[in-house]
Structure 1
Amino acid sequence: MPPCALRGCPFFFSAVIEQRGGIKMAKFTIVDKDTCIACGACSASAPDIFDYDDEGLSFVILDDNKGIAEVPEILEDDLMDAFEGCPTESIKVSDKPFDGDPLKYE
């Protein structure tokens, strides 16, 4: 197993390891409000994770869009559906906390 799998991988290689029965990694998410177009795809795919703020932009319900709360395992499939369905790639997912910065791992 590569060492980055234990620290957290910003390139989603941990998902490959997970699919092969390896280490189960925590998932964190945040919305980049600078690129969100409020299309509703994320809240349709994952209504327990995403909602709209006062400006009509998407945000993460779990931690007020700070990217520090671990997404519950039961919601991870919904999270990945929303991540893959976001037309502007505004939804960020990592196995490490974002600490309020959606561009932290780019």
Structure 2
Amino acid sequence: MPLYAKVDREACIACGLCQMLAPTLFDYDADGLASYTPDHNTGTTPLTGAQAIVFRRAYTRCPTGAIHRQAAPFSSDEP
């Protein structure tokens, strides 16, 4: 089953945990907010199997729940 990811930038507190745990998947912009880098935070590119393993570490530890996941691509109007 494919898995898609996206960061709700309004919920992000820029704690740095996701980037520390999954540096190949998350980075921060000039405003200090996290972004899911494989698809520029659009939530339209499925994670590979290896990415999903690393993603899970960051997803489960995000203190604000700003990292979202779902089985279908995100639409452009979702956070």
Instruction: State the alpha-carbon separation in 2 of the partners of residues 89 and 77 from structure 1.
Output: 18
- Superposed, 1:1-106 pairs within 5 Å as 25-100=1-76, 101-102=78-79
- Whose RCO is larger (CA < 8 A, sep 6+)? 2
Identity fraction in percent: 36
SS in 1 for 2:53: helix
Cα deviation for residue 59 of structure 1 reads 0.2
TM-score calculated relative to the size of structure 2: 0.92
TM-score calculated relative to the size of structure 1: 0.70
Cα deviation for residue 99 of structure 1 reads 2.3
Q: Give the number of aligned pairs.
A: 78
How big is the alpha-carbon RMSD for the aligned residues of Structure 1 and Structure 2?
Answer: 0.9
| Deviation >2 Å, runs of 4+ | none
Gaps of 5+ in 2: none
Gaps of 5+ in 1: 1-24
Bigger CA radius of gyration: 1
